[in-house]
Amino acid sequence: MEPYRAPWWLPGGHLQTLASIFASAPSVDYTRERWDTPDGDFIDIDWAGREDAQRLLVMFHGLEENSESRSARMVAQLALASGWRFAMPHFRGCSGSPNAKPRAYHSGDSEEADWILRRFAAVSPAVHAVGVSLGGNVLLKWLGEQGDSAVNVVRRAVAVSAPFDVTAFGKCIAGGLNYFYGLYFLRSLRPKVLHKIKQFPEHFAALGITAPGVDALNTLPEFDDLVTAPLHGFSGKSDYWSRASAVTHLTKIRVPTLLINARNDPFLPEQVLTEIGAVPSNVILEFPAQGGHVGFPGRSLWLPRRVLDFLSAPNA
């Protein structure tokens, strides 16, 4: 398949990111199913396509996204047209329903991905997985941690614009124009946490997470330090970023995997891509010069076509 080239009239990572965020996308007819989690909570799965399809594409979404995000609908549409079944498991709190436990989700939530993917594998003989942004990092981390055992669960995988060095992502997301992306995410994250504080006041008080503190947050790193880290067992944002990063697990991936990251992604410095080092032959690094963050606009829906092209390889 041809390499990605950005339209000449849409220069720069920010414009290429925003163009895809605000572009139209087809509607997808989903059916929702609720799964109980091992710790007594729940997640919601949105399904699309025929139940007797031979191949299943499981997609992990990005930060504060869901099955109605443009990237999900574009990939789902092409997958359905190609005879696949599509499923999106929502990270906790992202399906529109408040969860029953205090915990939420985070960039390194590979333990959650493990039981989810194994449950899909129990009902489908040919599971393929794609993760975008945060979901891409989660998927890559799981693939590396599981190593050879992942081959029995997932046939092929794709990670799109994964911030696989979460420390690098955390350091750049609060500066320059990225500050405004952070405000956009906080607009969704803040009310969820305030609701959780009312729902579990003693639990959050013990962690030092207070409503005034949440209201005062201005950046994602501040959110990670005050909320994400203590809520999920990390000592602070630096500990969380370090332990959540998939970059240290890439050499252990055994499933055929494609990483697609634009070199002008506003959320991940290009230096992270150039210094990634050697990876196994089954891991393909595809780093176009242009594309933005989960963008890759124009060019006849290049991104979903590239994803399905890789996942549909012979014997996949």
Max CA-CA distance within the chain?
A: 55
Catalytic residues: 133, 265, 293
In this structure, the strands spanning 127-132 and 85-89 are unpaired
279, exposed or middle or buried, with CB in 10 Å at 0-12, 13-18, 19+? Answer: middle
Q: Count other Cβ atoms within 10 Å, centred on residue 53.
A: 17
Q: What SS3 string covers 161-176? A: CCCCCHHHHHHHCCCC
Q: Of 185, 91, 100, 99, give the one whose Cα is nearest residue 138.
A: 91
Phi, psi (degrees; rounded to nearest 5) at 113: -60, -35
